[in-house]
Structure 1
Amino acid sequence: MTTEPITPPPAATPPVATAPARRRRRWPWVLVVVLVLVAVGLVIADIAVRASVESQAAAQIEEQLPENVEGDVTVEIGGFSFLAQALTGRLSEVVLDAPELSVNGVPLAAHAVANGVPTDLMKPIETISASISIDQDAVNGIVDIPGDSGLVLGAGDVSYEGTLSIFGFQLGYQVTGVVTADGDRVLVEPRSASLTQGAGNLDIDLDQLLGSLADDPISVCVAQYLPEGATVDSLEITEGRATAVLSADDFVVDEESLRTLGSCG
């Protein structure tokens, strides 16, 4: 008896994906691509709008500077998204730089950081902190001190020289002191004095004489160079340069505010 070979059943044919199934698998990738493109577009738009607003703001500030102030200003808007901040009506941080300003002919460099800046500039800015740096020649252009020489800026202190006449003798002296901030004024406070020439054999009380030179502080009104409401918080003196840190709260950056300078009472 012969046995007939057993023929195996045909292999199962894998199912062919239908068109709806292929579309379903493709959708997540399409969605990711669309979201990426939208995000890139928003970033590009944000950068473009931010740059345009920065340029317009700088031009507007330059136009509103007081007549005695000249120079270029750059504006940089901080924060993650300018468009998101603009929708809230307030910018978290705006940085202004003016490295070559001139005030009443006095050259200076200014840097300011404003926080809580409204998009409507008729409303006040929450806080402004600024630093103004001037060199020794500029300092002597605004500080009137006694003596024959200008103020010399040292490493943390200042000095000036002069002469005085006693019994027909000319005595040279040097006074050394420090500079401190006092709101709308800057004080030059003498700490010590010494004779530099001409003492000879004079029978005078040098300690009393030098003490009188180092007694009285020199007060300089700086409010006249600043917008009304700004105050001097601190001063840093380095060799040949002075840097003042200023602040103002609830300050409105409009033409009237920028052109209204302070005064000392």
Structure 2
Amino acid sequence: MRRFWWLWVIGGVVVLAVAAVIADVAFRSYAQSEAAAQIEQQLPEAVEGEVSVSIGGGSFLLQLITGEFAEVTLDAPELSVNGVPLAAHAVATGVPTDLTKPVQSIRATASIDQDAVNGIVDIPGDSELVLGDGEVSYEGTISLFGFSLGYQVSGIVAAQGDSVTIEPTTASLTQGAGNLDIDLDQLLGSLADDPIGVCVAQYLPAGAEVESLEITPGRATAVLTADDFVVSEDSLRTLGSC
């Protein structure tokens, strides 16, 4: 039996390794659930929905000991912000276990459908935005010499900081021109010269910015960023202002 003492040692090491893995998984799972619950409790009053948390990186316990998680992912596919439904996904890197300290970097995507976009974008008249492939369009009417003229404007969307701007590129009359003796080029040019600005700061925590905005048929997806952001109840409940 003495000749096989090393088998007992190896067996003991294996058991300890398995136990360590199980403990690591268990603590990670518990921490993820607790983090999700705390984040939901700290959401601003205007924000509702469930959040799931996934802690990445290597050993959870080792990261806990060092005081920082390499990567934390948050998913909220059915959030509501000021009544506007959106799907959100965020990846945070350099997340301290002490949340009074700032997170190194947060990069998130937020996606909303066409109806939600029209709920926050104010288009002149009673028109609504139509989201196309890389561009948007909207229709409206203008009154000229007692006649009602219908028009359509197409444009591209630019995002920077806390604002989104629709830059018109083309305009055309859709109805009512008839035999009116008017300078259509000048009229349409004036329609295409008026950009529409939207402040989105009121929907974002103070310090978060819009990096880019992608327009696809029926949907808009924004990439949001925040650096050195303290994830606390105050910071999550403090939205930006316009």
Question: What amino acid does structure 2 have at the position aligned with 1:184?
Answer: D
Q: Which of 89, 92, 96 in structure 1 is aligned with 2:70?
A: 92
Show the 5 A alignment for 1:1-265.
Answer: 22-23=1-2, 25-264=3-242
Residue 79 of structure 1 contacts residue 93 of structure 1 at CA under 8 Å; is this kept in 2?
A: yes
Identity of aligned residues (%): 73
2:226 and 2:25 mapped to 1: Cα distance?
29
The alpha-carbon deviation at position 182 of structure 1 amounts to 1.5
The alpha-carbon deviation at position 34 of structure 1 amounts to 1.2
Residue 147 of structure 1 contacts residue 160 of structure 1 at CA under 8 Å; is this kept in 2?
A: no
Larger Rg: 1
Length-normalised TM-score, structure 2: 0.98
Question: What amino acid does structure 2 have at the position aligned with 1:155?
Answer: D
Report the secondary structure of 1:203's partner residue: coil
2:9 and 2:154 mapped to 1: Cα distance?
73
Length-normalised TM-score, structure 1: 0.90
Report the secondary structure of 1:63's partner residue: helix
Task: Encode CA deviations 1:86-144: one digit per residue, 9 max, x unaligned.
Answer: 11000000000000000111100110000000001111000000000000010011000
Unpaired runs of at least 5, structure 1? 1-21
2:229 and 2:179 mapped to 1: Cα distance?
60
Question: What amino acid does structure 1 have at the position aligned with 2:239?
Answer: L
2:197 and 2:221 mapped to 1: Cα distance?
17
The alpha-carbon deviation at position 27 of structure 1 amounts to 2.2
Unpaired runs of at least 5, structure 2? none
Which runs of at least 4 in structure 1 moved beyond 6 Å after TM superposition? none
* Bigger relative contact order (CA 8 A; separation at least 6): 2
1:27 and 1:85 mapped to 2: Cα distance?
35
2:191 and 2:5 mapped to 1: Cα distance?
86
Question: What amino acid does structure 1 have at the position aligned with 2:40?
Answer: E
In the alignment of these two chains, the number of paired residues is 242
